[in-house]
Amino acid sequence: MTDFAATKAMFQLPEGVIYLDGNSLGPLPKAAPARIAQMMTAEWGEMLITGWNKAGWMAQPMRIGDRIARLIGAEPGHVATGDTLSIKVYQALASALAMNPERRVILSDNGNFPSDLYIAQGLTQMLGQGYELRVVAPEEVEASITEEIAVTMITEVDYRTGRKHDMAALTAKAHAVGAVTVWDLAHSAGAVPVDLAGAKADFAVGCTYKYLNGGPGAPAFIYVAPRHAGRALPALSGWLGHAAPFDFDLDYRAGAGVERMRVGTPPVIQMTSLECALDIWDMVDMADVRAKAIALSEQFIAGVEAACPMLELASPRDASVRGSQISFRFEHGYAAMQALIARGVVGDFRAPDIMRFGFTPLYIDEADVDAAVAIYAEVMNDRLWDRDEYKTRNAVT
């Protein structure tokens, strides 16, 4: 059994704050500042360029990939880290399309995060030749996987509503009609158990600054199924994905397996903060995370619905088809979220009317949920949101 009191003690959480926004940016592992300071002074400061070998910086992206692999059901050695998620979406999508050259259609849904759709739009425009992005409603994805589809590009858990696709079923359907799958795990990794190998997923990508708590700007990850890893081309063929970067060949030769998906110099400081977060994840069983996240979510829904009849649940009511976040619709959601944040309950707002809360058992417990419900009820029933100061939009919502 995972000791969630122990994991909670390993995060720095400001006094008086109930942090329900780990789905956007996870909190700081207490060990990270000292470890990063040590990396900077003892490694960067003393070792200088030799740190790439002596401190293991060059191997860090694959080492970290293996630690993430355990959390997403990937085979060891088949996850690489680096770059941002948008870049990894591009690589996975371009690579998957190249594996299915007779077809032209990318299938996605309108619950996907815009960056994934923008990346697909940019790629189809660049490729020309009749390539097309087809966007359907989440409920229509399964029926839309036809023999026309080259690649399905689906985010498993909807960033706004928490609606969760059935990865195994959609992957099986895609394979039955000859389509290749790209799964985005941005709201899955560290939130719900994922079984990439079991689902026979082809490609998967995700970020590490949300549920995995790697810190703002922490690197993304990419998975390529072992059966494809030797032939999938990286699309962004940078020197660190070359078979022998330090031969400085003039011609690109793809490296072994998923390591070819590396592009350029890794962000070592940021990777180091992610390693501190993964030390905590090493203490955690994803099945325990799932069970407790569902319990906390149910507690939140029941409490809020009992106290705030004006809110409409935007997330699926059935926990089995929901990720680890709960969203409510409210016309004045932005102002209401600002009022909550002012009272220490930190969630976020997603246009046009979604108030979103993430439930992360690593540092949220039942008492936090009770306290959050009480404050939410006060904000709603006393119309505390109805003040000008809560209505001016910040750049980041």
Site map 133..172 versus ligand PLP, x via CB under 6 A: ----------------------x---x-------------
Q: How far is the CB of 230 from ligand PLP (least distance, A)?
A: 27
Q: How far is the CB of 120 from ligand PLP (least distance, A)?
A: 11
If phi over 0 gives left and psi between -120 and 50 gives alpha, with beta otherwise, what is residue 200?
left
Contact positions with ligand PLP (CB under 6 A) in 218-277: 220
One DSSP character per residue, 208-274 reads: SSSTT---TT--EEEEE-HHHHTT---SS--GGGBS-GGG--SS--B-SGGGGG--S---HHHHHHH
Q: Is the dihedral of CA 247, 252, 257, 263 positive or negative?
A: positive
Residue from 207, 212, 311, 364 binding ligand PLP (CB under 6 A): 207
Contact positions with ligand PLP (CB under 6 A) in 321-380: none
Measure the CA–CA gap between 203 and 95, rounded to whole angstroms. 9
Using CB under 6 A as the binding rule, whether residue 115 contacts ligand PLP is answered as yes
Q: How far is the CB of 288 from ligand PLP (least distance, A)?
A: 24
Nearer to ligand PLP, 184 or 368 (CB): 184
If phi over 0 gives left and psi between -120 and 50 gives alpha, with beta otherwise, what is residue 383?
left
Residue from 184, 202, 259, 353 binding ligand PLP (CB under 6 A): 184
Q: How far is the CB of 112 from ligand PLP (least distance, A)?
A: 6
Using CB under 6 A as the binding rule, whether residue 187 contacts ligand PLP is answered as yes
Known catalytic residues?
113, 184, 209-210, 356
Interface with ligand PLP by CB under 6 A: which range of 112-120, 140-148, 189-197, 303-311? 112-120
Residue from 116, 259, 348, 368 binding ligand PLP (CB under 6 A): 116
Measure the CA–CA gap between 237 and 158, rounded to whole angstroms. 30
Identity of residue 394: N
Q: How far is the CB of 77 from ligand PLP (least distance, A)?
A: 24
Give the burial string for 165-186 (b: 16+ CB within 10 Å, else e): bebeebbebbeeeebbbbbbbb
Through-space distance between the first and last CA atoms of the chain, rounded to whole angstroms: 36
Interface with ligand PLP by CB under 6 A: which range of 42-50, 109-117, 237-245, 362-370? 109-117
Check if the beta carbon of residue 241 is closer than 8 Å to that of residue 60: no
Nearer to ligand PLP, 11 or 113 (CB): 113
Contacts of 225 (CB under 8 A, 6+ apart): 78, 196, 197, 200, 201, 202, 203
Using CB under 6 A as the binding rule, whether residue 84 contacts ligand PLP is answered as yes
Nearer to ligand PLP, 51 or 215 (CB): 215
Q: How far is the CB of 45 from ligand PLP (least distance, A)?
A: 29
3-state DSSP helix/strand/coil % of the chain, to nearest 5: 45, 15, 40
- Contact positions toward ligand PLP, by CB under 6 A? 84-86, 113, 115-116, 155, 159, 184, 186-187, 207, 220
